[in-house]
Chain A
């Protein structure tokens, strides 16, 4: 690109470069919804990268895995932080212009109770529930086989333990979305639940 860079140049570059496309659209975003959409695309890229390199991620702590995700978001110019104090120490927080705030709570799968603890932290400790701050995520790292079965268990458990403002939406076997009343504001707070499959046990040796 040079001083005569055009939109066409940018679109050509973005054509096979999702990370660049995310950045272009994030820079252009003028609504919280569009910022959120691009942030979630960037998060999906980061999770995909983590899974692709799962061989090197065995036995890592929650903090180490989460720091990897934060670093990948940072590399895309996204102001993500780990362990920032927002009502408590958040696993991932992304604070942006126009009052946008997104919080992700990340847990290693050790059972439904541990994930529910993270969910309650997100909903009752960290989330403000204000406009532009009414979306978050639960990110679950699995080093077990068949994480889709465990995600299903988590989804069923969540259905019994909390209130909803709409139906649970299953995106795929490793992701579902839910929406809940935020007690502090009375508004709806939306949560996306991501399963991160890190099981690694090659059987070719």
Chain B
């Protein structure tokens, strides 16, 4: 799927006022290198969209871009592993399962982590389909 097709799909399935934020984000992301698209924070994306991270329409735009057919973005979480001084990526579905079960297990040590909700940070990454669409568009 070409980048233009992804954009046309967004224009077809999303309405204002959400649409223009989605288009701003996609245009901005499309100008980046694939390796820059793997850890996109709320504040970075909000900055791209020139809005506040807690804005309801911005939130709806993120929902649209992560759920639409040919979704450009995927939500995931990162957990900071102090022992190895690195972040560990965890799928959003696993995290929500932890929320529902009120249990989070350290992905490396297997220990239960207390107060885990404060230690998981939401970030976004470009979907593989979006990255693939960028290669012919950007020649990267």
Q: Please list the residues of chain A having a beta carbon within 8 angstroms of any beta carbon in chain B.
A: 1-8, 10-11, 13, 20, 23-31, 34-35, 71, 74-79, 81, 95-97
Question: Are A30 and B42 closer than 8 Å at their CB atoms?
Answer: no
Cα separation A45 to B43 with both chains bound (whole Å): 28
Closest 9 CB pairs of A and B: A77-B63, A28-B92, A77-B60, A79-B13, A3-B43, A8-B117, A30-B93, A77-B64, A1-B53
B69 touches A11 (CB 8 A): no
- Chain A residues lying within 8 Å of B56, measured Cβ to Cβ, are 20
In the complex, the answer to whether A23 meets B63 with C-beta atoms within 8 Å is yes
B61, B71, B99, B119: which contacts A97 (Cβ < 8 A)?
Answer: B71
Known: A5-B43, A24-B96. 17 other contacts (CB 8 A): A1-B42, A3-B44, A4-B121, A6-B122, A7-B117, A11-B99, A26-B66, A29-B93, A30-B92, A74-B14, A75-B60, A78-B64, A78-B67, A79-B13, A79-B68, A95-B69, A96-B67
Residue in contact with B15 in the complex, picked from A1, A28, A74, CB distance below 8 Å:
A74
- Chain B residues contacting A11 (CB-CB under 8 Å) are 99, 117
Residue contact B66 to A7, C-beta cutoff 8 Å = no
From B15, B41, B59, A71 is in contact (CB under 8 Å) with B15
- Contact partner of A6 (CB less than 8 A), chosen from B14, B15, B118, is B118
Offer 19 A-B interface pairs, CB within 8 angstroms, sorted by A.
Answer: A3-B43, A5-B41, A5-B122, A6-B122, A7-B77, A7-B120, A27-B62, A27-B75, A28-B75, A28-B92, A29-B67, A76-B60, A77-B14, A79-B13, A79-B14, A79-B64, A79-B69, A97-B68, A97-B71
Bound together, the chains give a CA A81 to CA B19 distance in angstroms of 14
Q: Which residues of A contact B69 (CB under 8 A)?
A: 79, 95-97
The complex places the Cα of A71 from the Cα of B18 at a distance, in Å, of 11
In the complex, A20→B79 CA distance in Å? 23
Total number of residue pairs linking A and B with CB closer than 8 Å: 108
Note all chain B residues with C-beta closer than 8 A to A13. 54
Q: CA separation between A97 and B77, bound complex, in Å? A: 20
Cβ contact within 8 Å between A96 and B63: no
Residues of B within 8 A of A (CB): 12-15, 18, 41-44, 53-54, 56, 59-64, 66-71, 75, 77, 91-93, 95-96, 99, 116-122
Kindly provide the distance from the CB of A198 to the nearest chain B CB, expressed in whole angstroms.
23
Nearest chain A residue, comparing its CB with the CB of B64: A77
Min Cβ gap B40→A in Å is: 11
A24 neighbours in B (Cβ, 8 Å):
96
Nearest Cβ distance between residue B133 and chain A, in whole angstroms?
15
Knowing A28-B93, A97-B69, A97-B71 touch, does A8 contact B118 (C-beta < 8 A)? yes
Please give me the residue from chain A that is nearest to B42 by CB atom.
A5
Docked-complex contact A75 and B18, CB < 8 angstroms = yes
Query: How far is A95 from B13 in the complex, measured between Cα atoms in Å?
Result: 8
Whole-angstrom distance between the alpha carbons of A5 and B99 in the complex? 16
Q: Are B67 and A35 in contact (CB under 8 A)?
A: yes
Give Cα distance in the complex from A8 to B113, angstroms. Answer: 14
Q: How far is the CA of A34 from the CA of B93 in the complex (A)?
A: 10
Bound complex: CA A34 to CA B67 (Å): 12
Please state if B92 and A23 are interface contacts (CB–CB under 8 Å): no
| Residue in B18, B59, B93, B117 whose beta carbon sits within 8 Å of that of A20 in the complex | B59
Q: Is the CB of A7 within 8 A of B64?
A: no
